[in-house]
Amino acid sequence: MLILPAAFALLAIAVQAQQGGITTGGSSQRPIYVSGKVLLSDGQPPPQPIDIELVCQTQVQPQGKTDSKGGFNLQLGANRFEGFGDAAVTSSAMDTGFGGALRGQNQVDGMSVMSLVGCFLQAALKGYRSDKVDLSRVRLGDTSNVGTIVLRSLASIEGVTVSSTSLSAPREAQRAAERGRERISRQQFAEAEKELNKAVQIYPQYAEAWQDLGDVLQAQGRAAEARKAYSESLACDAKFVKPYLSLARLAAVEQKWQEVLERTGALLQLNPYEYPQAYYYSAVANYNLKAYDKAFDQVEQAVKLDPTHTVPLAEQLLGVLFSMKGDYRAAAEQFRNYLQHVPPTADVSAVKAMLAEVEKRLAPSGK
């Protein structure tokens, strides 16, 4: 019998993304080609040829441009070495900018990729936000179609990460808030609380200071006071997205699933493109409310929006939901993804047990 959690317990999601990079060597020596297309959110191709970028760790490298219809077909890494026409160029001269991950290989004919963990493709057009294609989730062959990358106009995003109230705050309040954030960075929470209280006393409409105060209170285990501070932040600026996520997190810890759906729903109306955590919390709420189809849709979106694996618990939940559908191959893949990206200090015994069970079911049938 497959071991499934009766209630999906909420765990900390602020995990460090595994650093990925491009490495070469081993058994894979063939250049990797990828194809696909870029469309605007209305289904039209971009108004001009645009760059397709490869992002690994924090490094961004243009790989080629789309054609007039938005299509692309390119060799990963091939354009990074333009100007190195001499086949005798040494590996030390051919640093990729990806932490020196690509070494010891002649690149005149392009690159061979062994691992693309932590790397993704995106399109680049000013005024638009791009979908991200996680290459570690793409089955790469000689030529791989990565599908459609959608560009969405930034004008359609109503939510803000910097509140307009911060621009109106008196200088004295801003200084107090800055001192508070400095104390937070040092984990001096009592001192940070004093400074942030001073900031909101000087300027009660200071949404970001209220948000930071809520974080400080939560860090000290004072959930009820943190909830009040987050609510004050939201009351000051309804388009400021951070308090929605903070309140959703608190509601999830308290297993107030309907409130989780309300908070995440409001956030995703303001910005549906940048918050995989919100989709994850929504999926957890739907799972616990036994709305499994909705949970599946939401957690799939969380995984899609998280190419750097900052929310590996989404992969765990997706594995559970694939298991419930009887898709054991997909479930095993998601459980492996989770185990690969979760912090080494996490207790992974339950996931290992689920992975062993789905692998046992997978072996006879190959489903």
CATH number of the domain encompassing residue 74: 2.60.40.1120
Interstrand relation of 71-75 and 33-40 (parallel, antiparallel or unpaired)? antiparallel
> CA 133, 136, 139, 144 torsion: positive or negative?
positive
Question: What pLDDT was estimated at residue 62?
Answer: 87
Question: What pLDDT was estimated at residue 4?
Answer: 53
The rounded percent of the chain whose pLDDT value lies above 70 is: 77
Higher pLDDT, 104 or 364: 364
Final residue in a domain of this structure, among 156, 185, 220: 156
Looking at the predicted structure, is the pLDDT value of residue 102 above 70?
A: no
- Please state the rounded mean pLDDT for residues 294-308: 92
Looking at the predicted structure, is the pLDDT value of residue 172 above 80?
A: yes
**Rounded to an integer, what is the distance from CA 114 to the centroid of its chain?**
23
What is the layout of strands, in order, in the sheet containing 33-40? 71-75, 33-40, 143-153, 128-130
Burial class (CB in 10 A: 0-12, 13-18, 19+), 152: middle
- What's the mean pLDDT when you consider all of the chain? 81
Whether 7 and 98 map to the same domain: the answer is no
Nearest-Å Rg of the Cα atoms of the chain is 23
Would you say residue 77 lies in a domain? yes
Question: What pLDDT was estimated at residue 61?
Answer: 85
- Please state the rounded mean pLDDT for residues 259-267: 97
Q: Name every residue whose Cβ is closer than 8 Å to that of residue 272 and which is 6 or more positions away in sequence.
A: none
Would you say residue 68 lies in a domain? yes
Whether 50 and 97 map to the same domain: the answer is yes
DSSP lists the bridge partners of residue 214 as: none
314: nearest Cα among 287, 344, 350, 353? 287
In which domain, by residue range, is 331 found? 1-16+274-367
SS3 41: coil
Q: How confident is the model at residue 99 (pLDDT cuts 50, 70, 90)?
A: very low
Would you say residue 221 lies in a domain? no
Tell me the C-alpha distance between 211 and 228, whole Å: 10
Whether 152 and 39 map to the same domain: the answer is yes
Whether 37 and 152 map to the same domain: the answer is yes
Whether 58 and 152 map to the same domain: the answer is yes
Looking at the predicted structure, is the pLDDT value of residue 197 above 50?
A: yes
Domain count within the chain: 2
Final residue in a domain of this structure, among 156, 177, 208: 156
Whether 58 and 113 map to the same domain: the answer is yes
Whether 316 and 351 map to the same domain: the answer is yes
252 neighbors 222 (Cβ within 8 angstroms)? no
Whether 148 and 71 map to the same domain: the answer is yes
- Please state the rounded mean pLDDT for residues 239-262: 96
Higher pLDDT, 156 or 135: 135
Question: What pLDDT was estimated at residue 125?
Answer: 87
Question: What pLDDT was estimated at residue 326?
Answer: 93
| Tokens of residue 204, six digits | 């009660």
Whether 2 and 93 map to the same domain: the answer is no
| Tokens of residue 4, six digits | 């499934």
Would you say residue 106 lies in a domain? yes
Please report, for the domain that includes residue 319, its CATH number: 1.25.40.10
Would you say residue 168 lies in a domain? no
Q: How confident is the model at residue 273 (pLDDT cuts 50, 70, 90)?
A: confident
Question: What pLDDT was estimated at residue 78?
Answer: 62
Would you say residue 175 lies in a domain? no
Q: How confident is the model at residue 101 (pLDDT cuts 50, 70, 90)?
A: very low
Q: How confident is the model at residue 149 (pLDDT cuts 50, 70, 90)?
A: very high
Residues 304, 111, 80, CA angle at the centre, nearest 5°? 85
Question: What pLDDT was estimated at residue 77?
Answer: 72
Question: Model confidence over 114-132: pLDDT tens digits?
Answer: 456 678 899 998 878 888 8
Would you say residue 1 lies in a domain? yes
Tell me the C-alpha distance between 328 and 45, whole Å: 37
Would you say residue 5 lies in a domain? yes
Question: What pLDDT was estimated at residue 365?
Answer: 58
Question: What pLDDT was estimated at residue 92?
Answer: 29
DSSP lists the bridge partners of residue 130 as: 151
Question: What pLDDT was estimated at residue 33?
Answer: 83
Higher pLDDT, 47 or 95: 47
- The CA–CA distances, whole Å, from 249 to 24, 246, 258, 308, 351 equal 41, 5, 12, 21, 22
Whether 281 and 349 map to the same domain: the answer is yes
Whether 8 and 62 map to the same domain: the answer is no
Looking at the predicted structure, is the pLDDT value of residue 282 above 50?
A: yes
- Please state the rounded mean pLDDT for residues 356-363: 89
Whether 10 and 44 map to the same domain: the answer is no
Looking at the predicted structure, is the pLDDT value of residue 34 above 70?
A: yes
Among the ranges given (79-83, 147-151, 226-230, 289-293), the one the predictor scored with the smallest mean pLDDT: 79-83
Among the ranges given (130-139, 187-196, 233-242, 322-331), the one the predictor scored with the smallest mean pLDDT: 130-139
Among the ranges given (30-39, 108-117, 161-170, 226-235), the one the predictor scored with the smallest mean pLDDT: 108-117
Final residue in a domain of this structure, among 132, 156, 180: 156
Q: Name every residue whose Cβ is closer than 8 Å to that of residue 359 and which is 6 or more positions away in sequence.
A: 328, 332
Tell me the C-alpha distance between 226 and 222, whole Å: 6
